[in-house]
Amino acid sequence: MKFQLFLGVFLLTYFTTFAQIKHGLRDEDGRHIIPRGFVVNTNDHKGEVFFNSDDYARMVRMGANFQVIRLELGKLSHFPGGKLDPTYLNKLDNLVELGKNHGIKTIFKMTVYGVDKFIWEEFWQNKKDEYETYIDAWKVIWNRYSEESSVLGYDVVNEPRKLTMDISYEKLTNKYLIPLYQKIIDESQKINADKMTLFQSIFMNKGEKVDNNQYSEITAPIKRKNIIFAPHIYQNDINYLKRNMDRFDKESDMLNAPILIGEWGFPTFATTDTIIDGKLGQLKYRELYIRTAEVFDKMGVGSIKAWFLGNRTMQHFLPGGPSTWSIFSDSTDAGTVERKYITDVISRPFPQVIAGDIQSFLFNHATRSLDVKLRPDNSKGASKIFIGANRHYPDGFSVLIGNQSVLYYNPLKNVGLEIYKLAKGVDPTNFIWDSNTQKLIILKWPENKDEIEMKIVPGIRNFE
């Protein structure tokens, strides 16, 4: 399956009347896709983590159409302490297949876990051909999934570091990181030229931040095709959210690569589950996550949340005490007990895939309304809007298409979408509510519409 990238600058000559959100992906049918989903771990500090089909069904019902599988370098390479593990490869196959069966695309992300030690300073010097050993580990994955259409691509170096090197972040990036990216991309495209390469910036040392952002700025282009800028953002200060994303946006322009947020969401402290208010209580977390989500949606960027995982272990590196990125609070590997103060924000309604071009979208958490503006193209197939009615609209919802057409869903009747009023030429059979996946499926948009404004609102016929 060939995915295409686009940036708004490429479209200026194509769309002279309609604005369009800048960042995005196209699927094999040319539909506009907004990626959203979770980081899927293969292990945690207590050992291996396993998932089943029910877990993936839950991901879908939380809005996921992508997963990022964290790879362990120690099970794919010959770095000291590492060894290629066929059982691990079978596990990866299973995760890809589970995703595929549930309509979830896969991105692989390489971490340096599982080896005896990984010293970044030695890695950058490459005196023992560390680059080749690293790329050989990737080749195992590239060759295995080169023909797998559900695998979008590869996030090739997770949170690269400087640590004790006497070098600026800019020089480390330009002298070492970008040439490494170019080498990895060139080798990858020999095997699977249509796959995407995702890349990140240097993770700055503890205490070294700019605008409360620990990821250094990339100031030079990579000059390769089929690339996606995948920065992480773990911002805990609302005042810096837009400023950080504006910087990423500037980098995206220079890199000529769209943004997909590879990880996001400030970790949850152990005390947060019991504290409603306070410095970083549940209300503060909810506000922080809502503001982050609004910035993402206004920019039109996809985002991957860490982690789809139960709370078996805690990290101990933040001054606020034990913390975790797990979105579930129970102590099982997959987890089922949601931290609702963040998961309801993560699982907000959005346009997943649109036959045409998305101009804008935004979910208003206060009014529980989703606004979408789009330019339809019925030649590209069906569209899907994730609504998440089970959590956001337990009282039912209404679908407003322009000012003339209204469909609604009554959960008490559970008979699918019903008609309140329809404009001439709108076929209600083209609008299908799938309660299993919590998606609104549009088989065909109304004809003779250059631009469509759609709104999802809570309740039934409460819009007059």
pLDDT by residue for the chain (464 residues), tens digit each? 456 665 543 332 233 334 568 887 999 999 999 999 999 999 998 999 999 999 999 999 999 999 999 999 999 999 999 999 999 999 999 999 999 999 999 999 999 999 999 999 999 999 999 999 999 999 999 999 999 999 999 999 999 999 999 999 999 999 999 999 999 999 999 999 999 999 999 999 999 999 999 999 999 999 999 999 999 999 999 999 999 999 999 999 999 999 999 999 999 999 999 999 888 899 999 999 999 999 999 999 999 999 999 999 999 989 889 999 999 999 999 999 999 999 999 999 999 999 999 999 999 999 999 999 999 999 999 999 999 999 999 999 999 999 899 999 999 998 999 999 999 889 999 999 999 999 999 999 998 789 999 999 999 865 44
Do 100 and 134 lie in a common domain? Answer: yes
pTM summary value: 0.95
- Give yes or no for a contact between 199 and 223, defined as CB atoms under 8 angstroms apart: no
Q: What CATH number has the domain bearing residue 284? A: 3.20.20.80
What pLDDT does residue 106 have?
98
Q: Are residues 200 and 264 in the same domain?
A: yes
Q: 307 preceded by cis ω (within 30°)?
A: yes
In a shared domain, residues 330 and 396: no
| Residues 415 and 446 placed together within one structural domain of the fold | yes
Count of other CB atoms within 10 angstroms of residue 70: 20
Does any domain span residue 464?
Answer: no
254 Cβ contact list (under 8 Å, min separation 6) = 218, 219, 220, 221
Q: Looking at the structure, do residues 389 and 273 belong to the same domain, yes or no?
A: no
Residues 104 and 227 in one domain: yes
Helix (H, G, I), strand (E, B) or coil at 375: strand
pLDDT of residue 261: 98
Joined tokens for residue 449: 């519409």
Would residue 365 count as lying in a domain?
A: yes
- Has residue 13 been placed in a domain? no
Judge if 295 and 198 occupy the same domain. Answer: yes
- Claim to verify: residue 373 and residue 302 sit in the same structural domain: no
- Rounded to 5 degrees, what angle do the CA atoms 74, 111, 260 make? 155
* Rg of the chain in Å (alpha carbons): 22
**What does the alpha-carbon distance between residue 438 and residue 416 come to, in Å, rounded to a whole number?**
12
Task: Flag whether 10 is in a domain.
Answer: no
Give the model's pLDDT for residue 5: 64
pLDDT of the residue at 403: 86
Q: Are 223 and 116 in contact (CB under 8 A)?
A: no
Asked which of 303, 323, 347 is the last residue of a domain, the reply is 347
Q: Is 281 found in the same domain as 206?
A: yes
What DSSP string describes 30-63? --EE--EEEEE-SEETTEE----HHHHHHHHHTT
Q: What is the CATH number of the domain that holds 396?
A: 2.60.40
Spatial distance between the Cα atoms of 349 and 361, rounded to a whole number of angstroms = 10
Same domain, 157 and 295: yes
Which amino acid, residue 139?
Answer: K
Structural domain includes residue 310? yes
Contacts of 74 (CB under 8 A, 6+ apart): 81, 82, 83, 113, 114, 115
Domain count, the chain: 2
User: Which residues in 300-335 are b (16+ Cβ under 10 Å) and which e?
Assistant: bbbbbbbbbbbbbeeeeeeeeeebbbbbbbeeebbb
Strand partners, 228: 198
Domain boundary among 301, 319, 347: 347
Question: Residue 9 has what pLDDT?
Answer: 33
Q: Decide if 41 contacts 111 (C-beta within 8 A).
A: no
Domain shared by 169 and 79, yes or no: yes
The pLDDT score that the predictor gives to residue 90 is: 98
- Phi/psi of residue 133, nearest 5 degrees: -60, -40
User: For residue 20, is it within any domain?
Assistant: no
Of 347, 364, 382, the last residue of a domain is 347
Q: Which domain holds residue 100?
A: 34-347
Largest CA distance in the chain: 71
Do 299 and 332 fall within a single domain?
yes
Single out the residue of 39, 32, 35, 38 nearest to residue 4, CA to CA. 32
